[in-house]
Every structure is written in C-alpha cells, then in structure tokens.
Amino acid sequence: MSNVIHSNEVERWGVFELTLEGGSEGNPYKEISLEAQFQYKHRTIKVDGFYDGNGVYKVRFMPDSVGEWSYSISSRDARLDGSAGSFVCIPPSAGNHGPVRVRDAVRFAYEDGKAYRPFGTTCYAWTHQEEALQLETLQTLGSSPFNKIRMCVFPKRYSFNMNEPDCFPFAGSREEGFDWTRFNPDYFARLERRIMELQQLGIEADLILFHPYDKGHWGFDRMDAETDEFYLRYVIARLSAYRNVWWSLANEFDFMAAKTMDDWDRFFRIVVESDPYQHLRSIHNGTKMYDPDTLVLYDHSKTWVTHVSMQYWELSPTNAWRKRYRKPVVVDECCYEGNLPQRWGNITGEEMTARFWDGFARGGYVGHGETFVHPEDIVWWSKGGRLYGDSPERIAFLRDILDEAPDSTEPLDSFRDAPTIGVEGQYYLQYFGIHRPAYRQLPLPEERRFQIDIVDTWNMTIHTLDGEHSGPVRVDLPGKPYIAIRARAL
C-alpha cells in the first residue's frame, strides 16, 4: 500500500487530497468503504472517502483553520485501514473567501465575512457538451457579471438539448443498460475539473442533484431508493470538499412523478448527514401552468433548507416569501430573455433587467437565463456557449451599484409604495419599475446630509442632483419607467 498526498501544504478552504492504493476485486463501490478523521487541536471532522476506479481510493478534505492537521483512515479493508499523516493549512490566497454561508434572514456571506450577493445564471447541461463548447462557456462566464451558475449533475434531455452525452455517471450505456451499483469515475472527473475552473472565476456551482428531464430515457429520474442514496453519498464524498459547491436537491422537483415529499425529506437528511461542511441546500419548484393557486412548494421552513430557491415569473411575492420563511430568497428562475416559442423563453432584455432590479429592491436575489433561437440549438440556458442578450451588461451595472452599497443593506419595508433596500439613516435605493412618477418625496433624516442620484437602469446612467440634501426632499424624476433613486449619506 502507498499513499500519495497531492500537497503537504493546503490553503484554508482549499482541497487536501489523499490517494490510497487498494484492491479492485468484487465491487469496491459497494463492498469497500473508508472514512477519514481529520483533527485540528480539539476538533475532529469525519469525512467519507470514495473509490475512483482502477484500485484507487481517495479522500478529499476542505480545512477551515490555519495550522497543522492530522488524519487517520479507517476501513474494513486492511490495505486501506490505518493510514495516517498530517499536513499544514496555510492562509487563503487572494480571492479565496471560503464557502458561502447564510448570514441572516436576508443575506449571504462568505465564511471569512465578506458579503456575497448571488447574481446567478442557468446553464443546465453545459458540462455534457463537447469540449470546445464547454471552454467557450467558461470564457463567456469569465467576462460576465454572474457569480453563481445552476447546473445539472445528471445529463439532460429536453427541448433544444437532445444530443446524447459521450459519458454517463454510472457504468454502462443506454443501449447496453446501466450498472446501478458502479459509477463511472471519468464522468465525475470531468465535472470536478469544471467546478474547479468555476472556482477560479469566483463562481459558485449550484449543483442540481435530480431533475425530471429524462422521462425514462436513461432512467436517472426514477432510480430506486437504494440507488438514490448510493448516488447522493458518492457525489457528496467526491464533491463536498470544493468550497464553491451548493446543493440544489432538484430542479422542478414536483414534476418528478416517481418521487414523493417523503423522498425529498429523506434526500435532504442524507445530504445533511453526509456533508461535513454543510454547504448551502435548496430545492426548486415547477409552476403548474404558472397558476399561483396550483403552485406546489416544498416547505422551505424545514431546518435542512438553508435558503429559498424559487421559480416564479414576477417578483412581488419576494416580500411575502422573505417574511414567511425568514431565510434568503433567490428567485432562481423568472423566465428567460430570448425568443423561443415556449412561454418561459421569450421575455425581453428590458423585462429581465426590470425583474432583477425589482427582486433585489425587495430584499431578494434573482437568477438570469437566456434562450435565443440558434441554428445548432446552442441555447445558453441549456448548453452554454455565448450570450447574445441585452440584460447581462445591465445586470453588471446593477451589481456594480450593489457592490458599492453597505454590507448591512436590507429591505426597508416602511417604504410601502416602492420597493426599497438600504440602511436607515445611511443609504437608500428605491426602484420604480414600470411606474413613472413625476417626482418623489424622499423622507431623509434631518441630521445628515445626502447625495441623491437618479439611476436610469436601462440606459445605465447616473445623474447626481446638485447640492447636499437632508430632511424631507422632493426629487423630480424624468417621468419614464425603469428609474431608481439612490441616496447616500455624506
């Protein structure tokens, strides 16, 4: 038996990887398990290892404290049992702020305390495309405003994405059948490489663990309970050490006819039990013909749900969801900018931009998507590639404005006639959407002086009013839609 440690020094929230050589007889995925105990001073963290094929076993660990860590391996297999050693965790490199956590009822933050506001996009099946297209997607993301991407672990078969991937998560093929007791390590190695490349771009990987876009074609949407758990524990053992991973239990969970609410509760429990780092956890709903009376929601108040992930086509309910669940609300899907025939795929860039502003001004967060007809069906929302729409640069403009806002910015529900976020007595950002008032009475504190800006959210201009302002002030507006007011204490 020999051990290969990829590095004796690992930065905080980086990945320490230990490679062990063992046997390959029988079915190691099912018959051989290993567990590592990592110790730092008085703390011990248990981590599951996994079989990586060809007689190779791995353990991955994300250290969260600077200093010396020791480890030991336990396994019923004598070739793996008893391995031990240590490594040094060094301070994080620039740009490494740790995993994202929920800070409070409305905000996220990285583990080091730096504020994080999710500006997400959706590319469900981008990692299942040819290499050149995946690289183009990464290049596009690198120059985009997006710091989170929703993506499927399983391949997807749906409109504008009917191509068969050349690799699957389980051994076998659709034609010959899949071996539900053996994984395909090459499939997960590809996924891991993309997760790391996203991490280098500062992008969180919101991994969708289950989805309904299979309908028995491969069978990943209707595995039995034992296989579901087998899959979840393997995925978490392989991927949880990457700090930029989030777990989305499902996309449109209520469209998966083979699963019940009890199944989703069980999946959440498995994730909680298996993930030593407690990454963010959510679940995403369908909409049942966009009728709010038939909208099926998972109970986001359950303790294992860290934040609300919602599909809904307009943003005014954000206030109600935020107050009901007392957790950050991310409207991950509010329709897509594009021109597809489907009702969800043809809103304008102007409307997508407005929905972003409306959702953020209500104290929530909003996800982007793009669905333009393409001669080769390379649609961003599914396959990635390039962005063609008008909203991304305007979303970047919004992100720049919010990056300048105080970290303590929160919804100000006292402003009842226009959604407003800010910090009382310090900062106010108010958005009018389709409304076009001629002026606005802004009730600023008497004891402080403010700079007032009129923001044109579509044309991306900021007009600063002359002088300094305090107390109730009348702000004359241009009388057109998609205008915001920003007031900042001097």
Q: What is the pLDDT of residues 231-287, one digit of tens each?
A: 999 999 999 999 999 999 999 999 998 999 999 999 999 999 999 999 999 999 997
Residues 312, 365: Cα–Cα separation, whole Å: 12
Which residues belong to CATH 2.60.40.3950 in the chain?
A: 413-489
Q: What is the pLDDT of residue 3?
A: 46
pLDDT-derived band at 294, boundaries 50, 70, 90: low
Check pLDDT > 60 for residue 19.
yes
| Mean pLDDT computed over 23-43 | 95
User: What confidence tens digit (pLDDT) does each residue in 128-138 have?
Assistant: 999 999 999 99
Q: What is the pLDDT of residue 272?
A: 98
Structure token digits, residue 118 = 């999710």
User: What confidence tens digit (pLDDT) does each residue in 134-178 have?
Assistant: 999 999 999 999 999 999 999 999 888 888 898 999 999 999 999
| Mean pLDDT computed over 208-229 | 95
* Topology given in CATH for the domain delimited by 100-403: TIM Barrel (3.20.20)
Is the model more confident about 8 or about 456?
456
Instruction: Name the nearest CA neighbour of 309 among 248, 386, 258, 263.
Output: 248
With a threshold of 0.85, does the pTM exceed it? yes
Q: Quick one: CA torsion of 440, 445, 451, 457, rounded to 10 degrees?
A: -40
By percentage, how much of the chain surpasses pLDDT 90?
91
Cβ neighbours of 166 (radius 10 Å): 10
| Mean pLDDT computed over 347-364 | 98
Which residues belong to CATH 2.60.40.10 in the chain?
A: 3-90
pLDDT-derived band at 414, boundaries 50, 70, 90: confident
Look up the CATH number of domain 413-489: 2.60.40.3950
Which residues belong to CATH 3.20.20.80 in the chain?
A: 100-403
Structure token digits, residue 207 = 């991994």
Q: What is the pLDDT of residue 378?
A: 96
pLDDT-derived band at 1, boundaries 50, 70, 90: very low
Domain 3-90 in CATH 2.60.40.10? The answer is yes
